[in-house]
Structure 1
Amino acid sequence: MGQHSTWQVQVRPAKKALAWPFVRLRSLPETGVGMRTEFRTKKHLGQHFLKDPNVIGSILDAINPGQEESIIEIGPGDGALTEGLIMRSGMVYAIDVDNEAVAYLENRFSDKKNFQLIHRSVLDVDLSGIAKMPKARMVGNLPYNLSSPILFHLLRHLAAMKDIYIMVQREVAERIIAQPGNRDYGRLSLGIQLQCHAEKLFDVGPHAFIPPPRVWSSVVRLVPRAEKELTVDPVSFQKLVRQAFTHRRKKLKNNLKKIEGIEDFLAKAGIDAEQRPEQISLDQYIRLTEALYG
């Protein structure tokens, strides 16, 4: 994969930083008296709500949803991005595990017929069975502490996805798009790049969120590869890559020494047995998977 150009999104610092526990949300006239105007953000859920309108607009423009399309949103938070998705798309399915966020969103969008909430952890949701349309589009502000498990969960449902737009910690984005020889290159890079074309779109600073995280974030676009591009079984491929990266600094032949005749298989795949796992390209790992598993 070649290098992709990126651009920085200018974000405006919040006028006043809020302490971690509370996020103040605007009242909704249509819901009447009694609407909650604040709820507790939960650190253990990794909640950082996107608030900067410039960033929200950039994400919406990148997705450019159509009125006939279905959107699956992971972690809608207080609905800042959700509102734009509802206005531009045919149907929005929002997945959130937080009781208070779900209660707030149910009130905020109670009059929207093209909005449906799924009150569960995304890791427990069969994403392939949500949207009625053949291909859904996905967007999500992933919690930092669950980014990798969620990404691998998404990979199991790519057949139902047209494309995916995710906000992740910048370091995770660099791992997703990393190339051989880069220190960020590893299991996540290979697992995603086997099944998707991956591109980092732009970086987002901490002050775009409430509460602001301590690190920068990035928006990444994943486009599932066509079925004809996948020449190996992803499960077998992941099994091999997981073994290969058992010890990053060891030679590949040592990490795979439990496989009988591994040096012959490496030679058949055109791989130097003396190389380390982060030096091996995606195509070489594909050839090795083919050699091992047929």
Structure 2
Amino acid sequence: MERLNTKELVKKYGFRFTKSLGQNFLVDPTVVRDIIEGSNITKADHVIEIGPGVGTLTRALLEAAGQVTAVEIDSALIPILKEELKNYDNFRLIEGDVLKTDLKALTQGAPVKVVANLPYYVTTPILLRLLEEDFPWQSITIMIQKEVAMRLNAGPGTKDYGSLSVLISYYADTELIRLVTPVSFIPQPKVDSLVIRLDRRSQRRVAPKDEQLFFQLVRQSFAMRRKTLHNTLKPMGIDPVIMADSFAAAGIDPGRRGETLTIEEFARLSDEIKERLGHEENQ
């Protein structure tokens, strides 16, 4: 079968882009190449691709990986993908919303690598689902809005550092692969994109005594960025004496802002709060 590029495929099938789905298809073969190389995919890998579009990246994944399972929400793309990729026996196509798909069932418990050109509007929900569910991913290589990618990769004391940075750091190590400008897509988005890879850590970066409290503390610490921790953590409703004692025991100045704390400091403060809350409950 003749290999058509993205623009030719869109024209061949008379495909109409759906704005509400945030569809932007890759037209730059160098980006496809860099995603494949940057994701470290081999013939031993099972890849789950989210949002294959007309299959431009999918075809390259099929040639690099042992198995590719693509999840596509747009029913109009299903017949295109089936026709264009019908000669690949290592291809499986799932029609559905990745936020509602049973991903664990797709993997049958075996490790997988995730690759995706994610629509900007669902980047965070999809990432949170992949990270927080009991799902055996080894790496996640995604092309997302540059601003979001910088937040995923940010460290303490930088303008991009936030609760999402801490969450990503908890589960994974990150590596920026390349910048992608709007001319690499049809239709062209209004912002630059970045390809970033998340490599799952064999152990979580920290081991808080109460994971739920830890994440609540992190989220609240960034809720009002310009305020000190002393003020921004008040809505958690914890006794001020317990908070003061916890700060002191953790060696953290409550006059600091959340954006200056490392993930280790967040874990230490969380553990001190947990310990004092436990003592209070036992009295």
Equivalence for 1:269: 250
**Is this contact kept in 2: 1:155–1:195, CA < 8 A?**
yes
Cα distance in 2 between the residues matched to 1:228 and 1:24 = 45
Give, as a single letter, the amino acid of the residue that structure 2 aligns with 1:177: N
Quick one: structure 1 residues 235 and 84, their matched pair in 2 at CA, closer, same or farther if it must change by over 3 Å? farther
Percent same amino acid among aligned pairs?
38
- Residues 187-212 of structure 1 show CA distances to partners (whole Å, capped at 9, x for unaligned) of 11111111110121111111111111
1:163-242 superposed matches below 5 A: 163-227=139-203, 229-232=205-208, 234-242=211-219
Cα 1:179–1:235 change in 2 (3 A) is same
Match of 2:58 among 69, 77, 82: 82
In structure 2, the partner of 1:134 is 110
The within-5 A match list for 1:36-185 is 37-132=13-108, 134-157=110-133, 159-185=135-161
Aligned to 1:130, the other structure's residue is in SS state helix
Look up the SS of the partner of 1:168 in the other structure.
Answer: strand
Write the letter of the residue equivalent to 1:222.
L
Looking at structure 1, the residues matched to 206 and 78 of structure 2 have their Cα atoms a distance apart, in angstroms, of 38
Greater helix share, structure number: 2
Q: Which runs of 4+ in 1 moved over 6 A?
A: none
Q: Deviations over 1:257-292 (max 9, x none)?
A: 222221211222221100111111111112122223
Q: Partners in 2 of 1:59 and 1:285 — Cα distance?
A: 33
CA–CA distance in structure 2, aligned partners of residues 236 and 98 of structure 1: 38
Task: Note the alpha carbon deviations across 1:137-183, whole angstroms, 9 max, x for none.
Answer: 11011101111111111112465011110101000011111111211
What is the RMSD computed on CA atoms of the aligned residues? 2.0
Q: Relative to structure 1, is the Cα distance of residues 227 and 179 closer, same or farther in structure 2, using a 3 angstrom cutoff?
A: closer
Measured against aligned partners, the alpha-carbon deviations of 1:31-70 in whole angstroms (never above 9, x if no partner) come to: xxxxx62211111111100110111011111223222210
CA distance 1:133–1:283, shift in 2 (3 Å): same
TM-score, scaled relative to structure 1:
0.84
Which structure ranks higher in relative contact order (CA pairs < 8 Å, sequence separation ≥ 6)? Answer: 1
The one-character-per-residue Cα deviations of 1:227-262 (angstroms, maximum 9, x if unpaired) are 364413544332221122221111111121222221
Query: What are structure 2's unaligned runs of at least 5 residues?
Result: 1-5, 276-283
Tell me, yes or no, if the aligned pair for 2:46 and 2:66 is still in contact at 8 Å: yes
Report the TM-score, using the length of structure 2 for normalisation. Answer: 0.87
Q: Which residue pairs with 1:244 in the alignment? A: 221
Q: What is the aligned partner in structure 2 of residue 259 from structure 1?
A: 238
Q: Which runs of 5+ in 1 are unaligned?
A: 1-21, 28-35
Inter-partner Cα distance in structure 2 for 1:96 and 1:118 = 6
| AA aligned opposite 1:85 | L
